Amino acid sequence: MTDQTIPDIVYTTVDEAPELASASLLPIIQSFANAAGVTVGRKDISLAGRILAAFADHLTDAQKQNDDLALLGDLVKTPQANVVKLPNISASVPQLVAAISELQGQGYAIPDYPEAPETDTEQDVRARYDAIKGSAVNPVLREGNSDRRAAKAVKAFAQANPHRMGDWTADSKTRVSSMTGGDFRSNEVSATLDSATGAKIVHVASDGTQTVLKDGLSYPAGTVVDATFMSAAALDAFLADEIEKTKAEGTLFSLHMKATMMKVSDPIIFGHAVKAWLAPVFDAHGDKLAALGVNPNSGMGDLLNRVKDDADIMAAIDAVTADRPPMYMVDSDKGITNLHVPSDVIIDASMPALIRGGGKGWGPDGAESDTNCVIPDNSYAPVYDETVKFFKANGKLDPATAGTVQNLGLMAQKAEEYGSHPTTFEMTAPGVVKMILDDGTVLHQHDVQAGDIWRSASVRKAPIEDWVQLAIDRQAATGYRSIFWLDADRAHDAELIAYVEPLLAAAGVADKFEIMSPRDATRASLETITQGENTIAITGNVLRDYLTDLFPILELATSAKMLSIVKLMQGGGLFETGAGGSAPKHVQQLMEENHLRWDSLGEFCALGESFTFLADATGNPKARVLGDAVETATQGVLDHGRSPGRKVGQPDNRDSHYWFARYWADALATQTEDAELAAHFAPIAKQLADGEAEIVAELAAVRGKPVDLGGYYHADSEKVAAVMRPSATLNAIIG
């Protein structure tokens, strides 16, 4: 069981590259913080940790693990919260199954994931696992709205050292395609509730049979409640048409989804794409594929593994592949396609990377080509469509002169959790889906067919008001052009505008803000930053997620270096370490070559903010000195080029932590605000400087060979520490 005490700063235990980096960085943080009387402890929100917490009744006492996510969920509702949250895995089913298998192999008697639960026990197991899938962590911890921006030091460095951008040409064939009807955007209805109420979601079949899909929903007064659905028939027709158009255009076919965040809807849409791509195979061998346990939602990788011994099916797949357009590849060397695993191609990372590269994607031949970017739902596809059109017309962005787009995102209390599990359903029969309030009022209803994907989402009044106030405060602090990305012609956005306009007017600042559709706001923002000016994008939850990758990747080359602050509504602070995911490819490189290219700059930025927040909250002046020194150290890492390189032989993540510690110690030793801290860190700074040659040599000596971490999702802590802290000299100085 993990320690249940709450430290001054909670530093989360997570997954993949950021967790490996923590094994190197966290001992440095804890050592330095201790000198100021600040405790920095850990709480486990990793995928493996969440699985073990969910199945404590299957484990021995020695194996049991507390539900740290639930503990933190309570903490963030208090003024005392100070959480540094690193990126964690938002698990797709294949990732979840792989983690379960690894834990079982380590002796944890947890049950298998039931693909088709039948018994009550299997239903219970499936419900527990479903609660872990997808973006399960973020809605629990985000009891506030999002403030994401490039730190001044990071932006200045990017302008002084501009990254390479791919060239755009007016005749590029790259385009974005999305549905023009039958999608979530076109079928959306929305309403704001006058009073608090409960609700249920009911399916009424054509023969009158009623099935309660979800009961016990509860909404406070002022909640904006949406409902919509995607037509399976319209989706299939769209996908089939785009495959043929792609072939005729001579471009790559690519599907861009977020099967981790929209953890129910998007895997289903992904499965439709797999079936559309292999339609002749499913037509000819559907029964055999079903008997082999093929689930297209799991991707072509799982499908190929199940059918690899069936010569007829493999021959049919080869024939279809030869007739299809070339596909956008995740790894052309290994034959991993866009449709292999639903979590491999994540829209908020894949689209900005393609746009940054001049509209080019990697094909199966290992060469770059123009691409048809298929984004089925038209809700936010216009953002990427307009970006592509802008660069075709104007050429690539110049990072050396570009301004910046900051983001204020509405996300508190599960705002706009579109396509997530509790209120998203795949229809098993035709009929009508109704959302019925406690007094019998039918708030929303849709006629649906079997296979359609119906979903509901909501946003509460308090988060909306907090979001608007956050925007007012940020605009007043910066004077930047400020735009609410809301479409008056979209049902949900129209309800939000009905909140936003009166709040701005009451504050006397209506003339300081613009309200634009996402398409128009995209063009306005690109025009603004191209001129070297700055703007604030004030958006809903999904656009918060998308834009805090899109603009940072264009401006900075990465979203992992973003300053990400969640001002919690009850007064606490949540400091996220960037928007760049958890980088599985970085882990693969470490395991094969003992080189970790993860850049901890996001952690540095979040750490400085966390110390400063702690100083304000507790009146500890030493914490403020630590925070100020972190900013100096971060600037030093950037100015002296101490960030990790991509290849073995170059400095990596562990080297950057040495230099961060050294610059941090220097700053603390030479500051004049706290003589006690200066005296404490002066000898440490000297030892770190004097030991440079030995430390750098010890870090370099281990590179180039495979390493054993004792696991991927649930690694052995001692083995990880040995890999990530190979310098005995540095370890002795840090203590």
Residues in contact with 653: Cβ distance below 8 Å, sequence separation at least 6, in sequence order: 20, 21, 24, 596, 597, 598, 599, 600, 644
Give Cα separations from 589 to 397, 570, 585 (angstroms): 31, 41, 6
Instruction: Return the closest-CA partner of residue 426 out of 643, 614, 180, 203.
Output: 203
Tell me how far apart the terminal alpha carbons of the chain are, to the nearest angstrom.
Answer: 26
Q: What is the mean pLDDT of the chain?
A: 95
* Confidence class for position 68, pLDDT limits 50, 70, 90: very high
Residue 735, classified by CB atoms within 10 Å of its CB into exposed (0-12), middle (13-18) or buried (19+), is: exposed
pLDDT digits (tens, 9 = 90+) for 630-680: 999 999 999 899 999 999 999 999 999 999 999 999 999 999 999 999 999
Report the SS3 class of residue 211: strand
Q: In the prediction, which pLDDT does 593 show?
A: 97
Looking at residue 560, its pLDDT comes to 73
Residues in contact with 690: Cβ distance below 8 Å, sequence separation at least 6, in sequence order: none
Give CA 158 to chain center in angstroms.
23
The span from the CA of 281 to the CA of 283, in Å, is 5
- Helix, strand counts (H, E) of the chain: 27, 24
- Range list of H helices, 278-428: 279-291, 300-307, 311-323, 347-356, 381-394
Q: Is residue 578 predicted with pLDDT exceeding 70?
A: no
- pLDDT value at 485 more than 80: yes
Q: How many CB atoms lie within 10 A of CB 524?
A: 18
Reported as a single tens digit per residue, the pLDDT across 404-448 is: 999 999 999 999 989 877 899 999 999 999 999 999 999 999 999
CA–CA gap between residue 365 and residue 362 (Å, rounded): 8
pLDDT in tens, 319-346: 999 999 999 999 888 899 999 999 888 9
Query: DSSP 3-state assignment of 65?
Result: coil
Tokens of residue 177, six digits: 């395609």
- pLDDT reading at 2 higher than 60: no
Identity of the residue numbered 549: D
Q: What is the pLDDT of residue 89?
A: 87
Structural contact between residues 38 and 611, judged by C-beta atoms closer than 8 angstroms = yes
Question: Strand order of the sheet with strand 210-219?
Answer: 210-219, 197-205, 431-437, 442-448
What pTM was estimated for this model as a whole?
Answer: 0.85
User: Residue 139 above 80 pLDDT?
Assistant: no
Which residue is associated with the tokens 């656009």? 543
* Dist CA 284 CA 274 (whole Å): 15
Task: List the alpha helices (DSSP H) in 404-509.
Answer: 461-478, 491-506
Rounded CA gap, 579 and 547, in Å?
A: 10
